[in-house]
Amino acid sequence: MFKNEKFWYLCAMPGAVAGWIFILYGLLFPFHDKTVKILWLAVVFIWGIGHLLELAASIPIGKSKGIPVRIVVIKTIVFGITWWLPLKLGFISETR
């Protein structure tokens, strides 16, 4: 399953975008339920720290594949590990 390009493009990457939607929704319409608010804050915190670490990992991978740093940064910010890990492992093409 994880070696299938369709899994990454049709399941994992849309899941990463859903995380963005959750974060933006929480910014536009703050949650009043304490549990959901704590969950939202945890997602934002993990997203912030995680993406800094992911950028450090993804830039060398992208460079080794001949992808411009600008594209690597954008795709890593939008899709995170669901983009650079399958790229590193050769499960997806860098041309998309």
Q: How many CB atoms lie within 10 A of CB 62?
A: 24
C-alpha separations of 67 from 13, 24, 94 in Å: 19, 28, 7
User: Global pTM?
Assistant: 0.83
38-91 confidence digits (pLDDT tens): 999 999 999 999 999 999 999 999 999 999 999 999 999 999 999 999 999 988
Judged against a pLDDT cut of 70, whether residue 17 lies above it is answered with yes
Please choose, from the candidates 20, 71, 21, 94, the residue with its C-alpha nearest in 3D space to the C-alpha of residue 50. Answer: 20
Q: What is the pLDDT of residue 96?
A: 54
> What is the spatial distance between Cα 89 and Cα 95, in angstroms, rounded to a whole number?
15
Please choose, from the candidates 11, 20, 12, 18, the residue with its C-alpha nearest in 3D space to the C-alpha of residue 81. Answer: 12
